[in-house]
A and B are shown apart, each in its own frame.
Chain A
Amino acid sequence: QSVLTQAPSVSAAPGQKVTISCSGSSSNIGNNYVSWYQQFPGTAPKLLIYDNTERPSGIPDRFSGSKSGTSATLDITGLQTGDEADYYCGTWDTSLSAKIFGGGTKVTVL
């Protein structure tokens, strides 16, 4: 069981918006930076968001991150079929002295 909690799956129609939540505690999300990763089957994860809200070069602005207290959120707007993937949140846990990930959320485009 992951220290960070994510819903196993979310779905929406093309063009709609999905919100993926990541819930933690003061020892992790509450006091550390959150990053988000996208992973297609059989491929390596890709960094989508770092520093809670920042996008690396080349990541479309349809992907946005936010953080409030001990929770973080990844929004995907203008959903496309190519967005079907698993999404993971990650952060440092100060108590564990370890990087931790959420269990992942599978996005399905209906």
Chain B
Amino acid sequence: EAQLVESGGGLVKPGGSLRLSCAASGVIFSNAWMSWVRQAPGKGLEWIGRIKSKSNGGTTDHAAPVKGRFTISRDDSKNTLYLQMNSLKTEDTAVYYCTTVLRMYDAFDIWGQGTMVTVSS
């Protein structure tokens, strides 16, 4: 059974950094396009960005609100996706989900359970 498990969330001060991880099992991770999606408390879903498979160039796309501060990467040898978050702001407080992408349809088919990031002084 396919499973994604996020980790690395926690409390961080404004301006600080945090790295989230997403461990994948039951999927051919090296072939998968992956995304991060976040959800602020009581709010809707917000796409953070995606990373393509290495066979598709391994390139990344990041949403405007996080571009230049957040970086998505992957380690296919560890079946792990990462989200490096720098210069964190209070508005980055959210549950962060990793997902696999049905690439042809840009749909998110497998979701992790999420990890909470709180940015507060």
Using CB atoms and an 8 Å cutoff, list the residues of chain A in contact with chain B: 2, 32-33, 35, 37, 43-47, 50-51, 54, 56, 88, 90-92, 96-104
Contacts and interface: CB of A to CB of B under 8 A. Distances in A.
B105 A51 contact: yes
Contacts of B112: 44
B35 A99 contact: yes
B107 interface: yes
A58 to B, nearest CB: 11
Taking residues whose C-beta sits less than 8 angstroms from the other chain, chain B's interface range is: 20 to 34
Interface in B33-86: 35, 37, 44-47, 50, 61, 63-64
| Majority secondary structure, A binding face | strand
B43 to A, nearest CB: 9
A35 B45 contact: no
7 contacts: A32-B106, A44-B97, A44-B114, A47-B111, A50-B107, A101-B44, A101-B46
B106 A33 contact: yes
Given A45-B97, A98-B64, 7 more contacts: A45-B45, A45-B111, A51-B104, A90-B45, A98-B47, A104-B44, A104-B45
| Majority secondary structure, B binding face | strand
B59 to A, nearest CB: 12
Contact of A50 (B35, B102, B114): B102
A105 to B, nearest CB: 10
Contacts of B45: 37, 45, 88, 90, 101, 104
